[in-house]
Amino acid sequence: MSKYGFSFSLSRLLGIAQAKQKFARNTGIPTTKGGLQRKIGASIFKLFFK
């Protein structure tokens, strides 16, 4: 399917991706695993090396 620049995402179709993005922007809490790990790691780093 992605051979000609076409891709399909069920979460984008249903609006889940947009809802997660709005939630993350409003609360400052990332909704991805990597983003959450970065945020927690930065918080711990600030706690010890303030």
Of residues 4, 31, 7, the one with CA closest to residue 18:
31
Q: What is the pLDDT of residue 28?
A: 92
Q: 2: which DSSP letter?
A: G
Q: Across the 50 residues of the chain, what is the mean pLDDT of every consecutive 10-residue run?
A: 76 93 94 94 91
Q: 4: which DSSP letter?
A: G
